[in-house]
Structure formats: structure tokens, C-alpha cells
Structure 1
């Protein structure tokens, strides 16, 4: 599969910088610009006709859509863009969407750099068509204010989001650093809440790691925030460094990780899994591709993975592969449940199109769309836990964090078993 074209992010937009996490595509040269807006309309139709995952186009007469689109006259590019967006709505797929040139340029920003916004990963609830928060970006204005995964955004400033798509929401939420935006959200069991946020530049650290001493045992802790273009290399460096320092086990934290690039999740899975399947993708013709481990694992030490409702897409690919191969114990709460893959296409006038091209399955053949990954050990955070951890980030990934504490507890018998096995091997060698 083309590495830089395929995306499995649960996000519709990371406000205000990327709309599909980690995508890095070259823009077409302006020499290729076509002056007739109808050309872009037909480009979009052709791509969807060729690649959309459902050959019935979700019971939409796609040929009739083309005839309608090409029978119209478009005075401006904006008229054509509006027609394209209206046509794509008929596919009933929030992840197949059109991006105007500004939105497409924003999407291509390298996710390892600085982003400007409030730090929210947005998605669309496929049942209610409401804008939902997949996850706030760690340390961002939204995160500090207390916005949470699964919050429903009902108003942006004074404008209702009813019927609004994610692109429109991004346009309203983003703005200059230092400017303000008011988000009204609905949270299950709590009603409406209003957040006044100040936009700022946000630096995304894809991977951070450190060694924790837990009951005299060195545990490698790795926080992975997104599956961006450089995430695999950063993960490789983290594992190699901590292996040199003699850690006895690992905790991989995927909480609030909204996903990213498919190939990135496969590369990272291979660092933990020596042999076995990782993920398969199924397009309209049947199975499209399989990703397998290739005997390049960097460690076989015990591993626990932390997940929650904000762990989506590529996070679910990785955790599903580790779970199905019995390589790790998964701890936390059920994941987001997004099992679709998108391909991103630059168009001739500088705009872009993301189109859903495949569904993915875990190694055991499980379709997690709308269901998510069920943890091996279910550990819910109480409202008191959430408030305490959000108010004092220093407590996250310590024994004061119930999900992390459960991971340490689950790893302990595995660590002791390995240590005992090592002692017996030494004893046998000395006889």
C-alpha cells in the first residue's frame, strides 16, 4: 500500500491544523490548475466511483449524481465545492469528505511540528450525525480546560452545530493565537457545559518515554499520542534506549490517541510482535492487503497497553494486534470503534479529497467498527479520578493513576516468572 496515502485516523479534524493526522502529500503544481470548476467536480466523482469501499455507494445512485453534478453551471469554485460536499453527504460516510485548498494545506502540516488551535480531535457520530470529541490533545487548551473524549459539540460561539460537517466546524474553531472561541458541549449525564478557550500554538510530541521505578523494578513507560509519519522511528529509539538501560517490562499508553497512519501502526506493531498477523484490510473487491510481523521485534519483555474511549483507529489496530497475538495485556475502557481506512487525494486546483477505501480487521478477523477493542482488564476512571488527574498531570502514569496501577499489578507476575526462568537457566548452565 502507498505509505503516505492511506490514513486510519478517527479524526475528522485536529483543530486547527490537520484534518487527517499525519498525512504528508505533495500539493499539485499550480501549473496544473484547471479554470473550469466542473473539472474538479468530475475529479471527485471519478475517485469516489473508483475507490469507495461500498460498491452500492450506500444505496446511492452514483451515476445519477454525476449526471446531476455535470448538468449544472458553476459561477465560482465555491459553488462547485458546495455541490461536491452536498453530493458526498449522500454517501452517508463522515470520513469521505472534500477539503478546500486552505483545509487541504492545513491537513498536510507535519504533526511533529507546531499547530495552532485549541487542540481537539473531532469526529462525527455516524448514528446521530453530531460532532463529537474523539480526544483532546494532551496539554492543549482544550485538555487543560477539561474537555473530554465523547463530548458532543453543540455550539461554536453563537452558532449551532446541527447539520454542520467537520470541515465547517474546523473553519469556525480555528483562528489566530491569542484569540478566543467558545464551545458549548453536551456531556452524558451532566448536560451542557460552556468552555471559553484561547487559541495557541501547540507542540506535538508524538512519543515520550521514561523509566519508572515500581517496587524496585525498572518499568519502561511510553506515551504515544499519534501515529504520525515519524512515530515509528521515535518508538524504535525509545525501546532501544530503554532496553540498554535494562527495563524489565513496558507500559504503552495509548489513551486519547486518535490514530493516524496505517503503515505507522503496522511498523510499531512489528517492534513488539515477532511473528503473527497485525491487520488486514478489505475493500470492495474483497481482501486488499495483509500486514504481518516479520521477525524484527525489538523486545519480548512483558507489555501492558492502556486504552480508553479516545483510543481510536490506528490505536485500535495496534492494541488489537497485541491482544490477538497474546503479546500484551490490554487495560482500561473500550476503545472508540473506528475500523475504516481513508485514502487522501490532492486535486488539480489545490483542494483535496479523503475517501473511505477499506475496512480493517484484527488478526482474528474481528471488525471493531462501532464496537472498539474490549480490554482484557476493565478499569474505569471515576469522575473524581478524572478531575484529580486533569488538575494534576504529574499524577498521570503513577500509582495514583488507577489504570496505570492496574498495569503494574498485571505485569508483576510476568516479571517474576521471567526472573525465575532466568535463575533456572543460570542454575542449569552451572551444573
Structure 2
């Protein structure tokens, strides 16, 4: 887009369905510990053009029309006047400019990071598999979730762990991009990550590797002598909706009497995937989610066709269930379509649009808040389950959906009651 050098009027309302939007817990969350091909920043537009392009997107779309209490035009002028000779210097200025918004989800992505984000949403990434955001109180990076099956997941890293050191160097006050860069490295190399969990501080050593993100696994299980469908959804990437649909259709053909949908440690992803999966369970006309833009105008996504199944449903959530996971869980809870079992979700209620910029870099900008069908704003609040159950501290990936999985067992009991009442 061409930058407007005249001071603009207030932008028109953003209609979310015209955007490719990202509802992950952090727009570049999956970049932590990921590597990608480095794109050259020596060619392309003049350095300051990218700053102006970034400023214009924020001016036209940012969810807070007061820009965190700033005169956004004056901010533009301040940063345009700063000297910069290289793209790297401009990138630092852009990051500094965006930091004034005090919104960790509105972030600039250099070409390397933007390439990694595109790879992540397509279903592949490499690194240690950590998804992070910034804990503003401690000024430390905090784990949203470890990608299922990743080195971080196998190493026992959990949601809400604070990252205090990487290879012996403190992380406090560092930009998330810098933290992510330090977690990246050659596949097969190791990184030592210092973590704080409550009052306990400890280290884990992780070996970087290529991670294949297959977001859906499913299984026909038995409950009280009847077949039930178990669907595990670990991420809302570009493959998620189709794979969930295929899982439901297969389990329906196997006469599943009910379902347990597992969204634990699912940090979110593509908003459209979350909405589409909600529609698989809801009846036409039921609200999936409201989105509220900077003008306070509310847009609405509804179920549009007959559900794939009307059988009883239980959803498992925890503190790593964020954003698109919360959209799905909130829609099913508010429409009384499912009971939620587990622990309170993460609490991320902002939606980002992802924009490619002229030089191969990118921008994630918060363009709206979302509300559940009952118009709950869950940002920084999370969603409380209907049945609260903690996992044992010694719980491991291999114990998912087994007798050792206390949340799954509680979900099975809830489903058993629902099946009994539906007869």
C-alpha cells in the first residue's frame, strides 16, 4: 500500500471477515525456538518506507483508537526524524514505536520471523516448540504452551512457566524477538533454559529439532460399554478444521455415542479454523463469537448449517488453552452444547491481522476484541470450566486420555451423565 503523508482522518470500521486474522495466544508465539531461512534486508524499499507502512496499518486498524493515550501522528513524526541507514536500524525503531502501545500482541516481524510464522501456520516449524508471550508484571517471557511432542513438551515445560535465563543469560526486560532468537539454533544443537514455576527455579536442556505439527489425533474409546470419540486438537493451523471434520465423520461412522474434545495446551492459531470447528457442533443461527472493533461495532459469526453430530460433548481445557481455543470453548459452553472440564483457560481475547510488508517483513496488529456468545470479554480473565480438575504434577504426554489423566477421567464421568440424561 502507498503511505499517506498527510495527517489522515479516523479510519473506517474494520470488517473482520475481510481480513486473514490470527487468533493465537501470540502472533509470533510459535516462533520461539524456531528457525527459518534468513531473507536479505539489503534490497527492496527505502528503510523508512517500512516504518511508514507499519504506522499506517496501526493508524487504520489498531483496536485502541486512542493508541494507548498517545498522539499517533506525533509518534510517527518522532520516529521518521530518527536517523537510520540500514533496515536493521529501522526494524529496531519500528519495534520501539510499537512498544509505546503497550500491547505484546501487536508486533513487528522481521523477514526471518515472518517466514517462520508462515511456516508455522502451514503446519511445520523447527526449534524447541515453545509458544511464549510477555509477563508484564515480572518483565519475563512466559510460556503459553509447549507444542505437543516437541522438545519443550517432552522436557516438561508447562504453561505459565517463566523463562528467566537462556544459556545462562538473563531474559528480564528483553524483547520477545530477542528471546526467540536466542532459543533458535542449528537442528541438533542444545539450549539450556532456566525456568521459574511458582517459587521453584530450575533448568531444562532442550535439543532443537524439526517439529511436524499434526494438529488432530482421534480415537474410538469405550465408556460404560459404549463407544465414544476422543479428539485431541493441539493447534488451529491451516489443516485443523479439515482434520477435525474428518475425525468426526469417521467416529460417527463407528457409532460414537458421545465425544470428548481435548483443547488442553492448545495456544490457538487461525481464527477461521476456530469458528469453523465450532460450527461442526452447533445448530444454524447459534452465535459462535462476537468481534468488536475500534469503533465499538460488533460483528458476529454464526453457525450456518446442520452440525456434523448432535451427540453429547465434553471439552477439556487448561491454562494453555488460549485464544482460538477459548473462542471454541466459549461458544460451546455459552450455547450449552458442551460441558467444560479442567482448569481456567489462558485469557487472550484480542484478534490480530497479519500483514506482509514491502520488504518481506510482517506486522501483527490487534484489530478487535472478541466476546463469547453471552458477550463475555475473557481477555486477561480466561474461561472457567464447569468442572474444575487439576492434573497430577507427575503427569506426562504418554498419560493423555488414560486412567492417570484425572481431567480426562472427570470428562468421561461428565459425558457418562450426559449420555444417561439424553436417553
> Normalization by structure 1: what TM-score?
0.90
Task: Say yes or no: does 1:144 pair with 2:154.
Answer: yes
Gap change, CA 1:229 and 1:3, over 3 Å in 2: farther
Match for residue 44 of structure 2 among 33, 39, 44: 33
Deviation at 1:112, TM superposition (A): 5.2
Do 1:280 and 1:287's aligned partners in 2 also have CA atoms closer than 8 Å? no
Corresponding residue number in structure 2 for 1:398: 402
Corresponding residue number in structure 2 for 1:337: 347
Distance in structure 2 (CA, Å) of the matches to 1:255 and 1:211: 19
Deviation at 1:94, TM superposition (A): 0.3
**Per-residue Cα deviation, 1:196-232 (whole angstroms, up to 9, x for no partner):** 1111111111111001112311110000001111211
Deviation at 1:401, TM superposition (A): 0.9
Corresponding residue number in structure 1 for 2:3: none
Match for residue 367 of structure 1 among 348, 372, 377: 377
Task: Say yes or no: does 1:156 pair with 2:166.
Answer: yes
Unaligned runs of 5+ in 2: 1-15
> Normalization by structure 2: what TM-score?
0.91
Distance in structure 1 (CA, Å) of the matches to 2:138 and 2:85: 34
Corresponding residue number in structure 2 for 1:16: 33
Q: The residue matched to 1:150 in structure 2 has which SS?
A: coil
Distance in structure 1 (CA, Å) of the matches to 2:306 and 2:142: 38
Task: Say yes or no: does 1:210 pair with 2:219.
Answer: yes
Corresponding residue number in structure 1 for 2:393: 386
Runs (4+) off by over 6 Å: none
Task: Say yes or no: does 1:326 pair with 2:360.
Answer: no
Do 2:224 and 2:416's aligned partners in 1 also have CA atoms closer than 8 Å? no
Do 1:324 and 1:364's aligned partners in 2 also have CA atoms closer than 8 Å? yes
Distance in structure 1 (CA, Å) of the matches to 2:54 and 2:22: 18
Do 2:144 and 2:159's aligned partners in 1 also have CA atoms closer than 8 Å? yes
Distance in structure 2 (CA, Å) of the matches to 1:352 and 1:118: 23
Distance in structure 2 (CA, Å) of the matches to 1:157 and 1:330: 39
Task: Say yes or no: does 1:223 pair with 2:240.
Answer: no
Distance in structure 1 (CA, Å) of the matches to 2:145 and 2:209: 17
Do 1:13 and 1:167's aligned partners in 2 also have CA atoms closer than 8 Å? no
Deviation at 1:415, TM superposition (A): 1.3
Task: Say yes or no: does 1:414 pair with 2:418.
Answer: yes
Gap change, CA 1:375 and 1:99, over 3 Å in 2: same
Deviation at 1:138, TM superposition (A): 1.3
Corresponding residue number in structure 2 for 1:423: none
Distance in structure 1 (CA, Å) of the matches to 2:23 and 2:92: 26
Equivalenced residue count is: 403
Do 2:123 and 2:238's aligned partners in 1 also have CA atoms closer than 8 Å? no
Deviation at 1:348, TM superposition (A): 0.6
Do 2:191 and 2:207's aligned partners in 1 also have CA atoms closer than 8 Å? yes
Distance in structure 1 (CA, Å) of the matches to 2:44 and 2:20: 21
